[in-house]
């Protein structure tokens, strides 16, 4: 008598994925899968199973930094930005891909950076991107915000500056219109419920003739459970279309960078 299809195990390499029967909680050994109609199965990346907290449990970094940030809470990010060991692990992930990212971003826009401009980073963390900017433009006036109190403590200490504030990004940004020469927003929009509204805020706070730089992961391969939005080059271009962005893929990190040049004639807006 043949076994039901759902219980037949077959050795087959699936690099980076486990296949789990949809609606079931069977353990599927790594390197094996059950086969059947695609509608009956759920593909789940290895090591990215969601961690569910039971009553009385608290968010902890014991299971890795991914677990503490995927709920998009300031307390979770406090555990990242406020603990040096977690910050080191975060920077080391993917062969130091985040360090590569800050370098790639500034490499691409360096020719458009003013010599002594007023620059803001929306979602600045502890200031890694701004530190890269400062190496290239040491006379820059740096500003930033983040919803993590620990991030703001860290970035203020790093630059010995009070030009950084805690702010939860929901509907608006706490800056005057046309205040900055350059506005950065890196790996932030995909975490927000209203990304286009905040994109309009990024443009609003940039002076005419200035530059807005938005960076997001490649949504076609992004698997992080803390993200709400997953853009590719075409869909990111459509999201920002009214500001006529130039959208490119960064060569090493493969993230998408959108550069918006804010036109003159916006002073009355």
Domain ranges of the chain: 1-49, 96-261
H helices then E strands: how many in the chain? 7, 11
- pLDDT of 161-204, one tens digit each? 999 999 999 999 999 999 999 999 999 999 999 999 999 999 99
- Residue 198 burial by Cβ neighbours in a 10 Å radius (0-12, 13-18, 19+): buried
The answer to whether residue 219 scores a pLDDT higher than 70 is yes
207, 142 contact by CB (below 8 A): no
18, 44 contact by CB (below 8 A): yes
Q: In the predicted model, what is the mean pLDDT of residues 138-165?
A: 98
pLDDT band at 62 (very low <50, low <70, confident <90, very high): confident
pLDDT band at 265 (very low <50, low <70, confident <90, very high): confident
First to last CA, the chain: 76
- In this prediction, residue 57 carries a pLDDT of 76
Which tokens sit at 109? Answer: 């826009």
pLDDT band at 30 (very low <50, low <70, confident <90, very high): low
Using the structure block, give the residue that is written with the tokens 């698997």: 223
The answer to whether residue 2 scores a pLDDT higher than 50 is no
Q: In the predicted model, what is the mean pLDDT of residues 73-93?
A: 93
Which tokens sit at 260? Answer: 């918006």
* Average pLDDT score over the chain: 84
145, 170 contact by CB (below 8 A): no
- In this prediction, residue 113 carries a pLDDT of 97
Tell me, rounded to whole angstroms, the distance of Cα 246 from its chain centroid: 19
Tell me the helix, strand and coil percentages in the chain, rounded to 5.
Answer: 35, 20, 45
Least confident of 210-219, 220-229, 240-249: 220-229
Residue 45, beta-bridge partner list: 17
Least confident of 24-28, 117-121, 146-150, 154-158: 24-28
Give the closest residue to 211 by CA, choosing from 185, 182, 248: 182
- In this prediction, residue 10 carries a pLDDT of 37
- In this prediction, residue 52 carries a pLDDT of 65
**Assigned CATH topology for domain 96-261:** Rossmann fold (3.40.50)
- In this prediction, residue 36 carries a pLDDT of 54
- In this prediction, residue 227 carries a pLDDT of 87
Give the closest residue to 148 by CA, choosing from 72, 84, 226: 72
Main-chain dihedrals φ then ψ at residue 89, nearest 5 degrees: -65, -40
């Amino acid at each position: 008598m043949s076994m039901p299809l759902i219980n037949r195990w077959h050795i087959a390499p699936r690099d980076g994925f486990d296949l789990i029967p949809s609606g079931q909680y069977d353990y599927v050994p790594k390197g094996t899968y059950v086969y059947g109609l695609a509608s009956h199965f759920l593909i789940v990346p290895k090591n990215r199973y969601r961690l569910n907290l039971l009553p009385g449990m608290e968010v902890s970094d014991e299971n890795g930094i991914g677990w503490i940030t995927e709920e998009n809470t300031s307390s979770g990010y406090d555990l990242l930005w406020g603990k040096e060991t977690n910050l080191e692990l975060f920077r080391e992930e993917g062969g130091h891909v985040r360090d590569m990212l800050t370098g790639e971003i500034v490499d691409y826009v360096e020719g458009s950076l003013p010599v002594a401009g007023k620059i803001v980073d929306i979602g600045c963390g502890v200031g890694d991107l701004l530190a890269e900017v400062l190496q290239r433009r040491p006379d820059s006036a740096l500003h930033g915000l983040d919803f993590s109190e620990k991030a703001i403590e860290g970035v203020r200490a790093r630059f010995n500056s009070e030009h950084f504030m805690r702010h939860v990004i929901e509907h608006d940004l706490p800056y005057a219109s046309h205040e900055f020469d350059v506005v950065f927003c890196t790996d932030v929009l995909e975490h927000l419920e209203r990304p286009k509204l905040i994109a309009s805020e990024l443009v609003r706070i940039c002076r005419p003739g200035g530059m807005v730089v938005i960076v997001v992961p490649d949504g076609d391969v992004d698997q992080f459970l803390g993200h709400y939005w997953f853009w590719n080059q075409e869909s990111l271009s459509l999201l920002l279309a009214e500001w006529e962005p130039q959208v490119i893929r960064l060569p090493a990190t493969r993230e998408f960078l959108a550069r918006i040049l804010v036109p003159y004639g916006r002073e009355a807006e």
